[in-house]
Amino acid sequence: MQSISLDDVIDSEKKYGTVLALDLNKVRDLKTLNPKSKYDTTYIPIKFRHVNGKLIIAKIKFTEQIIGSAAKAPQDSGDDGGIPKHLNISMMKLLKENIESGDYAPKKKETEQLQEIEDARALKNVVKYMANNEKLIRVLDIIDLSYKALCKELIANEKTYAFRLFKDRNQKELNIYSFKQVTRMNSDTKKDELLENPIYRLKVPVCKKDGRLGIWSNYSNEFKSNVFDARKMTKKTNYQPVPAKVKINGKLVDLNVTNAMMFISYKSLIGGHITFECIVSSKFGLSLNNAFYDLYVYRHKSKNNENSMLIEEIINMRGGDATESDDDDDDNVEPSKKSESKNGNDDDDDEEEEEEEDEEDEDDDEEKDNKKSKDNIDKIHDSDDEEVEEVKPKQPEPIKPEVVEQVKPEQAKSSKVVKQRKSRAKA
């Protein structure tokens, strides 16, 4: 299968305008194939107009792209409690400050000369990633515009097709859904507002059998992963694809819908191929089917908190005062404790610290005792020539109860007389 570069898409757009074309000879309409089908869905294949004049499968290659979000399930995927058909990865236009942190920040060096070299290397990569990101966003815009042009063509010629686009005869308009999100509903006004930075959602296929990331091959009757770990593709592996895995409870497991975000994380570097196979017509409207054919991920390790709040919103949360001090010594302190700390009553804190230190000392003593007993056991097992009997702890002897003898009155009287005689003799 021939792949298409980002430059090919840009060149084709300059030559043809619309880079996609309908392949009406291979339309698959479920109701036509089976009138009793539960779903009234039509799949309309599309092709890419290559600059060389050929119509080929729209399989676009990309490299060194930074993603704008971790892999996430679609919002409506959990409604029925089943396994989602795919996960979404968001792409968007990235600014320099979005990139030059985390793994892409320069590392600290020992000397100024080495630090200058490292700073230059990091800056060069940031500039390269920004250029790559800008080109990919341009290509996705070209694909989106071409798809919408095909939708208009389908609607205009709907009566000439053997299949119906309007699945509901009462429909007057056909919704056209796009992988490019340009609006977001304002929760207060309940109206759509334009996004300053559009979001492009691309799909990672999910195997419906068990929720793993990849596809099930009916031809070979086996699961095939299509997400690979670029960090593991080294000289030792001859740079061959290594299926991505994550460690759960000390064991490496395949990527699935629940753990994928641990690997396909925010600001990870990705490469691979994405395909735009067909336009799907259903009762909901028209949509463009896209999926990663293969995805190579160089996971971003540094922890980053995605900021979903605008600066203006943060300032409003602070009461509208942008100059307010960032330091607040009373954070996470209950009101009663605030007044005590202000009055200089820190004795309770000191007592708590001393109690914690005493507990740590007790823990240390317990660890020492455990270590001694362990050393003794190790010494017993170290003797290889002699058979060592099992050492049993010595049991304390039971305490015998005092036996009180019953003395008869006659015996008590005679013994008293004997004692008196002995005392007189001594005197």
**pLDDT tens digit at each of 427 positions of the chain:** 678 999 999 999 999 999 999 999 999 999 889 988 888 999 999 999 999 999 999 999 999 999 999 999 988 765 556 899 999 999 999 999 889 888 999 999 999 999 999 999 999 999 999 999 999 999 999 999 999 999 999 999 999 999 999 888 788 889 999 999 999 988 888 888 999 999 999 999 999 989 999 998 888 888 999 999 999 999 998 999 999 999 998 999 999 999 999 999 999 999 999 999 999 999 999 999 999 999 999 999 876 454 555 666 666 676 665 555 544 444 444 444 434 444 444 444 444 444 444 444 444 544 444 444 444 434 434 433 433 334 344 444 444 444 444 444 455 445 555 455 555 555 4
d(Cα 254, Cα 243) in Å, to the nearest integer? Answer: 8
Extents of the domains making up the chain: 6-208+260-306
Residue with tokens 């005689």: 421
Distances in Å between the Cα of 40 and the Cα atoms of 31, 158, 178, 280, 288 are 6, 16, 20, 11, 17
Rounded CA separation 101/127 (Å)? 13
pLDDT at 67: 95
Alpha-carbon distance of 163 to 33, in angstroms, equals 11
Residue 62 — φ and ψ, nearest 5°?
A: -145, 155
C-alpha 41 chain-centroid distance:
33
Cβ 281 vs Cβ 30: under 8 Å: no
Tokens 């000390």 — which residue?
250
> Cα separation of 138 and 2, whole Å?
21
Q: Given this model, what pLDDT does residue 407 score?
A: 45
Cβ proximity of 146 and 18 under 8 Å: yes
Give the pTM: 0.69
